[in-house]
Amino acid sequence: MILTQFQSVGHDLFSRGLVSSNTGNLSIRLGERIIITRRGSRLGCLEENDLIETGLNKNDRATPLASEELTVHRALYQQTSAQAIVHAHPPHTVALSLTETEIIPSDTEGLSIVSQVPVLGWHMESTPGGLADLIAQALKQYRIVMVHGHGSFAIGQLLEEAHNYTTVLEESCRVICLLRSLQASSPKK
């Protein structure tokens, strides 16, 4: 059951181009434990050995196998009500994060589902697992945030909910990029 949820979300993220072969990660919280994708796993074709169970608050034998973003996932579970996390690298959203400090969707669905998305980490070094507390603080107020030039972190009660925020944000960013390209190529009157 858990594997099927991870496979469904991971495959969809990969199929949509929101993660490349070995990027992004997923996790769920089970009490004081976390199930998180393995370091370097391919979300598009996850298998049982790609899911690592480790402690929410302390390391154990499986911890070294967990995603490099484990520190962020732990902080989000410790500081928010999240039960699931999706970290992706949606290309249109990443592009906008390089020029914007906040992303506000132009489309009705985006506005109703994600409304506004802060872009965190401007003028800060972003390393895997870095900015954990900053991301956690922002996700107390928002459903999804962007890390400048890196990727999105979405939380939910289910993986599917966090996945939905991720895909809606990327679709909204595609619309913004299309609108900007149309405006740039419009003939001057």
Per-residue H/E/C for 93-129: HHHHHCCCCEECCCCHHHHHHCCCEEEECCCCCCCCC
The answer regarding whether domain 2-184 maps to CATH 3.40.50.10490 reads no
Termini Cα distance of the chain? 59
On the 0-12 / 13-18 / 19+ scale of CB atoms within 10 A, 64 is: exposed
Which two structure tokens, joined as six digits, stand for 45?
A: 């074709």
pLDDT at 133: 95
pLDDT one digit per residue (tens) for the chain, 189 residues: 899 999 999 999 999 999 998 999 999 999 999 999 999 999 999 999 999 999 999 999 999 999 999 999 999 999 999 999 999 999 999 999 999 999 999 888 888 899 899 999 998 877 667 799 999 999 999 999 999 999 999 999 999 999 999 999 999 999 999 999 988 776 666
Which position has the token pair 């895997």? 128
| CA–CA distance, 21 with 181 (Å, rounded to integer) | 28
Torsion of Cα atoms, 165 then 170 then 176 then 179, to 10°: -130
Pairing of strands 144-147, 117-120: parallel
Q: Where are the domains of the chain?
A: 2-184
Which two structure tokens, joined as six digits, stand for 101?
A: 């400090």
Please state the separation of Cα 67 from the chain's center in Å. 13
pTM of structure: 0.94
Which two structure tokens, joined as six digits, stand for 183?
A: 């405006």
